[in-house]
Amino acid sequence: MSFPDPLSLENGFNAANSYTRTSQDASGSRWFDTAASATEPRTLEIKHQVSGKGKDAVDRHLIKISTTKLDTEQVPHIVVVSTTLSLPRNTIVTATNVYNNVANMIDLLTALQWAPLQTALTTTYVDKLLRGEQ
C-alpha cells in the first residue's frame, strides 16, 4: 500500500507542503514539493531496506526531507532532516514500542508544548540541537 499522492505535510507555520511522487521502485520513492522551484527544490525520500538474515534480520525505513536554497552567487546550500526507523524482525519488538519511540522523537524535535493561545510549535529543543547542546 502506498502513501497518498499528492502527500500533504504541515510545515512549521501550519501551512501545507504538497509533495508529488516523481519516482518509485521496490526500495522506495522520491517526492517533489510542487510549490518549490526547480532551482530551490524541496524533496522527500522514503526508502526501505532489509539487512541480516533469519533471527538477525533488521528492517530499516528512511524518511529524508531536503530543502535547497541559493545564496547571492547562486551557490546551492542544502538542509537535510532524516529519520531512520530500524527494528528487528523478531516478534519481541511490538508496534507499540515503535510508536512510542516515534512519539518521543516527534516530541523532542517539536517540543509539543501547545498552550491555548499558541499558534505554532515550540522549537526549543531544535534550537538547542543547532547550538550543539546535549
Q: Which helix (H) or strand (E) holds 39?
A: none
Residue 39 has pLDDT above 60, yes or no: yes
Weakest-pLDDT range from 30-34, 59-63, 93-97, 109-113? 109-113
**What would the pLDDT profile of 81-96 be if each residue is shown by its tens digit?**
999 999 898 878 888 9
Predicted pLDDT of residue 30: 97
Residue 42 has pLDDT above 80, yes or no: yes
Predicted pLDDT of residue 111: 67
**How far is 60 from 62, CA to CA, in rounded Å?**
7
Where do the structural domains in the chain lie, given as residue ranges? 94-134
**How far is 117 from 110, CA to CA, in rounded Å?**
17
**Whole-structure pTM value:** 0.81
Q: Quick one: pLDDT band at residue 132, thresholds 50, 70, 90?
A: confident
**What would the pLDDT profile of 98-113 be if each residue is shown by its tens digit?**
999 988 888 777 765 5
- Long-range contact set of residues 73-76: C-beta below 8 Å, sequence gap at least 24: 76/40
Residues 6+ apart with CB under 8 A from 65: 42, 43, 44, 45, 80, 81, 82
